[in-house]
Amino acid sequence: MSDLTELPNIGKELAKRLELAGFENAEALKAAGTEKVFINLKTVFPGVCHNQLYAIEGAVQGIRWHYLTEQRKQELREFFKMAEK
């Protein structure tokens, strides 16, 4: 099982938060998928921002969030707006 901090975009602080939200390793994070992970994270930490959503997606894909496609970023922005309601 891989440590969360081995994934791109996941530092120690975000890893702690993800663990508190129920994701203890990289495999669990990837299996759940970005949107589910974000919803769980938002339940525990209501103030999470869209940058963390991008970070999670990049981690799931195994890339720095800067390299997400513009289309995927747009999908995530729309999801974030819906999650804020």
CATH fold, domain 4-84, is DNA polymerase; domain 1 (1.10.150)
The domains of the chain are located at: 4-84
| pLDDT tens readout for residues 16-48 | 999 999 999 999 999 999 999 999 999 999 999
Report whether pLDDT(85) > 90: no
User: pLDDT tier at 81 (50, 70, 90 boundaries)?
Assistant: very high
Q: Mean pLDDT across the chain, nearest whole number?
A: 96
What pTM does this model have? 0.94
Predicted local distance difference test score (pLDDT) of residue 2: 77
From the list 25, 22, 14, the residue with the least C-alpha distance to 48 is 14
Give the contacts of 10 (CB within 8 A, at least 6 positions apart): 4, 18, 55, 59
Mean pLDDT along residues 3-24: 96
The pLDDT tens digits of the residues spanning 51-73 come to 999 999 999 999 999 999 999 99
